[in-house]
Amino acid sequence: MRLQELGFEIRKSRLARGLTQAQLAAAAGLSRNTLNRLENGLFPDLGIKKAQAILDELGMDLAVRRAARRPKPDFIGMACTSASVSYRKALTPDELIHALLSGKPTPGKKAHFITLIDEAPPALLAGLVRQVGGWAKPGKVEKNLQQIAKQLGATARNLEWAKST
């Protein structure tokens, strides 16, 4: 489970219980800013004690289970590989996810995003948007990837993937 997926599940549970971020954060002994960044998939790292404090307040727990025999396609991994083929330093999954959730390309890796947007098959970009979009509000990741494409000068031809999402 990625931290972004945990944050999305925490948000769903908090909202289902009618709690504000401030109420949950105070009960778990965290700042509201920390909880907000976690829920939005932008918190870089969260210790197990902090995660457990939040989950305890929501009546949730983490479970360790075997992965399914047939893993789903890893569009994040494939996108990172496609974006990094021509470069010495690779675009990491965490950098890609953070960019897609924030709408801002990783500093020093703009060329990776240009390569991804200009050269990846539309099906890969559509799968990437679906995979990361599962941890965010509907339409957020698609909008952010389009924003990144426009910031970097991608043409409308290169945004064909958006029609298949």
Please tell me the pTM assigned to this model: 0.74
Q: Tens digit of pLDDT for each residue in 79-137?
A: 999 999 989 999 999 999 999 999 999 999 999 999 999 989 999 999 999 999 998 98
Lowest mean per-residue pLDDT among 27-36, 46-55, 83-92:
46-55
> Which superfamily does CATH assign the domain made up of 3-58 to?
lambda repressor-like DNA-binding domains (1.10.260.40)
Radius of gyration of the chain measured on its C-alpha atoms: 17
Q: Tell me the CB-side half-sphere exposure of residue 123, using CA atoms within 13 A.
A: 2
Q: Please count the other Cβ atoms lying within 10 Å of the Cβ belonging to residue 160.
A: 12
- 153 vs 106: CA distance, rounded Å: 16
DSSP secondary structure string for all residues of 74-96: -HHHHHHHHHHTT-SSPPPHHHH
Read off the pLDDT band of 4 (50, 70, 90): confident
Q: Where in the chain is the domain with CATH 1.10.260.40?
A: 3-58
Per-residue pLDDT at 162: 61
pLDDT attached to residue 154: 75
Asked if residues 2 and 92 have their Cβ atoms less than 8 Å apart, the reply is no
Compute the mean pLDDT over every residue in the chain, rounded to the nearest whole number: 88
pLDDT of 45 higher than 90: no
Query: pLDDT band for position 160 (50/70/90)?
Result: low
pLDDT tier, 68 (very low <50, low <70, confident <90, very high otherwise)? low
Apex 150 CA angle, 145 and 154, nearest 5: 95
State the pLDDT confidence band at 71, using cuts at 50, 70 and 90.
confident
Percent of the chain with pLDDT over 70: 90
- Residue 64 pLDDT more than 80? no
